Amino acid sequence: MNHVIQHYGPRALLAGLLLAPALLPAQELIRNFGEERVGTTALSFLKIGVGARAEGMAQAFVGVADDGSALYWNPAGLGRMSGGLFSVTHLEWPAEITYDYIGLVQNINERLTLGMAYAQLKTDEMPVTTETHPTGDGRTFYFIDQSLQATAGLRMTDQFSFGISLKYIREDIDDVSLSTVLGDLGTFYRTGWRDMSIAVSLSNFGGVVQPDGSYLPANSDDGRRQDYEEFSPPTIFRIGSAMTLFSYNEHHLLGSGQINHPVDNQESYAIGMEYDWLKRYFLRGGWKINAGEESWTLGAGLDFRINRMAIVLDISYSDFGILSESKRTSAQLAWEDWR
């Protein structure tokens, strides 16, 4: 069986590249005037990138996916890990919105690694405003998004790995809520040329979602309540590649590139780089192309080793144009030679 996987691994990856968009024909994963699809999906918090390291590289991370944020970017990355790790990411978003992501990964055997994650986006309580009370009528409401995820990564060969995630998603806005189950798929392949990788991920795929309950339209004459509209999830197809561009003594430069194809927007691109010295000190930079107000990113990191334990601290800064900036901080505790 193993020799069959080794022989067909590259072909399986190519098949994944060609067939992944066909998994969701109803959601028009193929390009179709992306600008016209803006605002057509729900659960937009699922599009917020995880990990200060990944963000420092402009989110060109599907082809890297070798730390705790692989739970978000490419579940196949888990199949290449050993040991285990616990990671936390905190994000300060424009408009005083905060986003937190917690992940746990543990290698089970030489082929299987399991993981789980919890994510939460929330706002502070906000006043309820009306036409007659534009500054608030004394009531307040809040907004909260949550995701609970289970992931499995399988190392098929030394070159090829596969991963899958299932996520329970819930959104609450005042007294309106919706919930659903979505999935992620990923593949990761080492080409055999130097350390070059090619990877593919399909995130947030599933059926349409609809808020619970009903509402009374403002212009209703007969007093009939209506059900809320159905929306598609924010499915996104990503393909990326990464490799070491330069290595001399204790100096290394990693480069990565990525194409992002969401169902609710136009295609975008990302280029990222990571320089490290002694595999302990890191500087990162990247550029997002055709990504709206987002453009350049910067980041830095430290990796402290204590016997077979590691503490990794990362920060990143992202330019958001007229929307100010976004700052991420991440911390990771790893054990048993996790890389």
First to last CA, the chain: 26
Provide the 8-state DSSP code for 239: E
In a domain, 135, yes or no: yes
CA distance 117 to 73: 12
Q: How many CA atoms lie within 13 A of 196 on its CB side?
A: 8
Report whether 118 contacts 135 (CB < 8 A).
Answer: no
In a domain, 221, yes or no: no
Q: What share of the chain is helix, strand, coil (3-state, %, to 5)?
A: 15, 50, 35
- Identify the pLDDT of residue 38: 65
Domain count, the chain: 1
- CATH code (residue 238): 2.40.160.60
CA distance 298 to 283: 8
pLDDT at 197 over 60: yes
- Identify the pLDDT of residue 37: 64
- Give the confidence band of 339 by pLDDT, cuts at 50, 70, 90: low
In a domain, 46, yes or no: yes
Report whether 208 contacts 182 (CB < 8 A).
Answer: no
Q: What is the pLDDT of residues 74-124, one digit of tens each?
A: 999 999 999 999 999 999 876 778 899 999 999 999 999 999 999 999 988
In a domain, 222, yes or no: no
Q: Nearest to residue 242, comparing CAs of 258, 263, 231? A: 258
Query: Coil, strand or helix: which one is 8?
Result: helix
CA distance 303 to 332: 9
Q: Quote the pTM value.
A: 0.87
Q: Are strands 126-127 and 281-289 parallel, antiparallel or unpaired?
A: unpaired
In a domain, 223, yes or no: no
Q: What is the pLDDT of residues 241-280, one digit of tens each?
A: 999 999 999 999 999 999 999 999 899 999 999 999 999 9
Contact residues for 124 (Cβ-Cβ < 8 A; gap 6+): 96, 142
In a domain, 129, yes or no: yes
In a domain, 216, yes or no: no
- Identify the pLDDT of residue 92: 80
Neighbours of 42 (CB within 10 A): 21
Q: What is the mean pLDDT of residues 31-54?
A: 79
- Identify the pLDDT of residue 3: 46
Range of the domain at 38: 2-24+34-210+229-335
Q: Nearest to residue 54, comparing CAs of 40, 65, 42? A: 65
In a domain, 220, yes or no: no
Provide the 8-state DSSP code for 41: B
